[in-house]
Amino acid sequence: MKRLVLIACLLLSAGAARADDAATLRLNWLIYGFHTPFYLGVEKGFYKQQGIDLTIGEGQGSGRAVQTVATGSDTFGLADGGSIIAGAAKGAPVQAVMGIMNSSPYAICIRKDSGIDTLKGLEGKTIASTTGEAGLNIFPAILSRNDMTPDSVHFLRVDGEAKLVAYLQNRVPAFLCGAENQALIVADKGVPPAVLSYPKLGVNTEGLAIVASRDTIANKADLVRRFIRATQLSFAAAIKDPEASIAAGLKAKPDMDKGLALRQLKAGLALMRSPHGPDQPIGWMAPEDWVETVALMKQYQDLKTDQPASAFWTDALLPK
C-alpha cells in the first residue's frame, strides 16, 4: 500500500513539474524603451507564474511580426493596428487579442524656436516625412478635421535619417514623428520639439497590439489568457517602477541608451489607454479605434476589405 502511495505521489509530482508552455513573442522592432516591460515580466517571473516559458525576439517591423505569427513561426507578435488589419485583409489568419498602445503615437514635431505651436501655424510651410510612412498617409484626415485645405501644408519626402537631419539643420520647421521615440531623439540632440499628437488633433488609430493566430486563439485560448494576464502584470510593474523595467531591458540589450530608453518608456506608457477608455484596464481596446483605423485605411491607404472592423480584433480572452 505504501508503495502505491509513493508511486501516486511521484506521478503527481511529475505532473506538477511538467514543463511550462513554450511561447515566443516577436517585437515590432529593435529593443527600445517601451519594449522593456516584457523583459521585466520575464525577470520577475510573471510569465513563469502563468506557466509560460517566454522567449522574446527583436523585430523587423510590424508587418514582419504579423507574418511570423500568421505562419506559426512565433506564438505572439507586437504590431501596430494598421499592419494587423492590412495582413488580415490579405488573408493572414490573425487577430489582435490585447491592446498595448491604444493612443496613436503619430505626431507632428515642431521646432520650438520656429515660433509655431499650432497646426494652423504650419499653413504654407514645408515639413519633412518619410515616403510611405503611416502618419503621412493619413495626414489628409488631420487637415480635414482641422478645417484646412489638402494643399495647405507641403512635404519634403526623404528617408528616415534624412528626415531627422532636415529638422535638426533647420531646413524645415517640423517633421512627422513618433511621440514616444523620434520626438525624444531630436530633443536629446539639442532641438526640442513641440509635439502635436494625432489623437489631440482629432485622428486616433489603433497603436501597438498583441497579435495571435486564429489557430492559437481557437485551440490554445487558455495560453492566450495566461499570456495576457502576465503581460498586464508586466506593464503594471513598469508603470510602478520604470527604472526597474529599463534595468531588465538593459540586460537584454546592454548598449541601449539608458536615459533615452527611460524617456521612451514613460512616453509610451502615457499612450497605453485609448481616448475612448482612459480608465480601462491594461489591454482593453476600444471598438471605435478599430473602426476609425479601418475607415482611414480605406480612405487613404487603399485598403480593400469587406470585413467589419470587429474581424480584426477580439476582447474575448481578456481577463474579466
For 156, list phi and psi in degrees, rounded to 5: -100, 110
Give the model confidence (pLDDT) of 206-250 as tens digits: 999 999 999 999 999 999 999 999 999 999 999 999 999 999 999
Mean pLDDT of the region 46-72: 96
Q: Using the 8-state DSSP alphabet, how is residue 18 labeled?
A: P
The pTM of this model reads 0.89
Q: Using the 8-state DSSP alphabet, how is residue 307 labeled?
A: S
Fill in the amino acid letter for 265: L
Cα separation, 296 vs 319, in Å, equals 30
Mean pLDDT (the chain) is 93
Q: What is the pLDDT of residue 1?
A: 53
What is 19-103+206-312's CATH topology?
Answer: D-Maltodextrin-Binding Protein; domain 2 (3.40.190)
Mean pLDDT of the region 9-38: 79
Give the model confidence (pLDDT) of 107-158 as tens digits: 999 999 999 999 999 999 999 998 878 889 899 999 999 999 999 999 999 9
pLDDT beyond 80 at 18: no
Q: What is the pLDDT of residue 14?
A: 45
Q: Where are the domains of the chain?
A: 19-103+206-312, 106-201
2 band by pLDDT with thresholds 50, 70 and 90: low
What is 106-201's CATH topology?
Answer: D-Maltodextrin-Binding Protein; domain 2 (3.40.190)
pLDDT beyond 70 at 41: yes
Cα separation, 290 vs 285, in Å, equals 8
Q: What is the pLDDT of residue 161?
A: 85
Q: What is the pLDDT of residue 320?
A: 79
Q: Give percent helix, percent strand, percent coil of the chain, each to the nearest 5.
A: 50, 20, 35
4 band by pLDDT with thresholds 50, 70 and 90: very low
